[in-house]
A and B are shown apart, each in its own frame.
Chain A
Amino acid sequence: MMRSVNERIKDIGIMRAVGASHNQIMKVFIYQAIIIGIVGGVFGYLAGTLLAYALGPVLFGVSTISPVPQYFPLALGIAIGVAVIATVYPAFRAARIKVADSFRSL
């Protein structure tokens, strides 16, 4: 997420030059993080479940693996939380760079 924010410092400068406030810039990145978190959480849960089916019997010597859907909201929440936390600080810093500096940083 930090890399994504850093790569978009010029975009942040453009958005600020046309009237975006710090809060609006933060929202752009936080919404993006939420979407990445949702996509990552869903795919992570599905991939983890499939992996458990494939490797569970081999690693743990059990005959059947049953999915636990109750963990899905937790997995999704953690994925979104991690993505948002990883975004807030770099986005906060990037939104405070002087517009002129964000163009010079290229």
Chain B
Amino acid sequence: MLEVKNVTKIYGEGDARVFALSDVSLEVARGDFKAIMGPSGSGKSTLLNIIGGLDSLSSGEVVLDGRCVNSLNENALVDIRRGKIAYVFQQYHLLPSLTALENVLLPLMFGEAEVSIEKALDILRRVGLEKRVGHQPSQLSGGEQQRVAIARALVNDPLLVLADEPTGNMDQSTGREIMDLFQQLNEGGRSIIMVTHDPEIARRAKETIVLRDGQIVDRVNHKTGGSKC
């Protein structure tokens, strides 16, 4: 479903060039769940942003469902964001002036699909927020805000969910609840790529990819326990 082929991302020019990613390749099948780990500055979030078309790459290719994401124009990228890819961020990135329900409705309002309040309410119910739909983000806890962000990500039925440290701002028990949600989504057939610092969180994925200095240095399959590097 997703192929990342020899992706390199360089910031700066000349002597100031920094390789944020260097020749990174990976594949994600439908229903896959990959964790990306590595120290700060290893290129985890850059890779996620490039996969999702939120950032440009310097060389290489990202192919999603047969379409080369990095060569798409802005309108085609908008189409991908409306249907194929959804994001969950560490900082939640909810619009502060909107309620939980309105934040979940936002992708439908910008998209071409019908704006279905029932659908948004149903997803909020699935993430356990049926009693908080009228609350603004400032009235919700971190865990609840992240649930709203997950509901917003799901409202367009995306093929792939990209999550950048979704439990990074949470205590362990809230983090576990959020991870349970991600695992349910994956068991329902959704592909997930998740950036995390936490090895325990990463073990919930099917495979962990370890990045260091912009390069893949290890891949751990959590089913077989084998390391490829």
Residues of A within 8 A of B (CB): 10-11, 13-22, 24, 98-101, 103
Contact = CB atoms under 8 A, between A and B. Distances in A.
Interface of B: 49, 54-56, 74-75, 78, 81-82, 86-87, 89, 91, 93-95, 106-107, 110-111, 152, 156
A100 B49 contact: yes
Contacts of A11: 95
A99 B93 CA distance: 12
Contacts of A98: 54-56
B55 A10 contact: no
Contacts of A16: 78, 81
B54 A99 contact: yes
A105 B111 CA distance: 26
Given A19-B110, A98-B55, A100-B54, 12 more contacts: A10-B93, A14-B95, A15-B95, A16-B78, A17-B54, A17-B87, A18-B81, A19-B78, A19-B111, A21-B75, A21-B110, A99-B54
A17 B54 CA distance: 7
A11 B92 CA distance: 12
Main secondary structure of the interface of A (DSSP, over half): helix
Contacts, number: 50
Given A14-B94, A21-B75, A21-B78, A100 B110 contact: no
A98 B49 CA distance: 10
A17 B49 CA distance: 10
Contact of B156 (A10, A19, A103): A19
Contacts of B49: 99-100
Given A98-B55, A98-B56, A100-B55, A17 B93 contact: yes
Contacts of B81: 16-19
Contacts of A15: 95, 106, 110
22 contacts: A15-B95, A15-B110, A16-B78, A16-B81, A17-B81, A17-B87, A19-B78, A19-B110, A19-B111, A19-B156, A20-B110, A21-B110, A98-B55, A98-B56, A99-B49, A99-B54, A99-B55, A100-B54, A100-B55, A101-B55, A103-B89, A103-B93
A16 B91 CA distance: 16
A45 B144 CA distance: 46
Contacts of B93: 10, 13-14, 17, 103
Contacts of A24: 110
